[in-house]
Amino acid sequence: MRIQRARLTYFSPTNTTRLTIRAIGEGSGLPCAESDFTNLKNAAPVPPFAPDELAVVGLPVYYGRVPRAALGVLRTLRGQQSPAVPVCVYGHRHFDDALAELEDILREGGFVPVAARAFLGEHSFSPKLAGGRPDAADLSAARAFGRAVAGKLEGAAPSALAPGAIPGSRPYRPFGPGASLAPMADERCASCGLCAKSCPVGAIDPSDAHRIDAGLCILCRACAKGCPSGAIDLREPPFWERVEALVAAQGAGRKEATLIL
């Protein structure tokens, strides 16, 4: 069966996953449509996938898992034995169980995973970890991966990845700690509202950036990265001390994407 198009489906608060997924779609050479469910409060339902549609599904890794906030949408995805490519983007340390967890969700939804890849993206907490990534080399690798996937889909029905081909533990590692802190705006805030617009879970009051729901915050720092005046960010010194310890433990060496094809 000939694949008619690729449907790029992703959750990407800080744009690293979006860039990666789009490069894969470009490399595939297939017509592409997008379902961006980053804005979880207003995300449109993702229509079911036809058997002749390739599902390229991507998200960032949070504490070695699929982002908990995105699970509700992911579990509504439905395929009809549609070929699928689970993709995760992680910030240098490791992707742990996230890619395997995404594979399991897709299989349960009626998809046939045919390839998978874990890419690098700048860590949400520090540009010292995979800073500036995905860079030109990463996007070139993503396009090459898209071409390889398209090649695998030519001709006869593609073979599914063998069980266990994607590394990860089952049961999965526990979710990271729930949010007990959140960004705070300071006197530089110009009340432009960009932080509220960028927040994927609606934790920031659009009329007052000083009002943030720590119970909703997922610590993605999309607000901090998008603020033109640097007025909003996490302020707790113990948090940043832990981040610096993580940076020191990881070192500065470059890691490359992990391919399963």
Percent of the chain predicted with pLDDT > 90: 81
- Confidence band for 156, pLDDT divided at 50, 70 and 90: low
CA distance 117 to 98: 11
Q: What is the pLDDT of residues 169-201, one digit of tens each?
A: 999 999 876 657 889 999 999 999 999 999 999
Helices 136-153 and 16-28 cross at an angle (nearest 10°) of: 40
CA neighbours closer than 13 Å in the CB half-sphere of residue 171: 3
- Confidence band for 103, pLDDT divided at 50, 70 and 90: very high
pLDDT of residue 90: 96
Its CATH class, for the domain covering 184-235, is alpha beta
In the predicted model, what is the mean pLDDT of the chain? Answer: 93
Cβ atoms 172, 100 nearer than 8 A: yes
The two beta strands, 116-120 and 258-260, are antiparallel
Domains of the chain by residue range: 5-172+254-260, 184-235
pLDDT of residue 118: 97
CA distance 232 to 242: 19
CA distance 253 to 238: 25
Extended strands (E) in 40-102: 53-60, 82-90
Q: What is the pLDDT of residues 233-261, one digit of tens each?
A: 998 898 899 899 989 988 778 888 888 88
Q: What is the pLDDT of residues 21-43, one digit of tens each?
A: 999 999 999 999 999 999 998 88
pLDDT of residue 179: 55
Q: To 5 degrees, how large is the angle CA 247–CA 249–CA 250?
A: 65
pLDDT of residue 250: 87
The structure's pTM equals 0.94
For residue 86, is pLDDT > 80? yes
Q: To 5 degrees, how large is the angle CA 4–CA 48–CA 69?
A: 120
Domain 5-172+254-260 indexed as CATH 3.90.330.10: no
Q: What is the pLDDT of residues 4-20, one digit of tens each?
A: 999 999 999 999 999 99
CA-nearest of 133, 138, 137 to 117 is 138
pLDDT of residue 55: 98
Question: In which residue are the tokens 């010194």 written?
Answer: 237
By the 10 Å C-beta count (0-12 exposed, 13-18 middle, 19+ buried), 207 is classed as exposed
Q: What is the pLDDT of residues 136-151, one digit of tens each?
A: 999 999 999 999 999 9
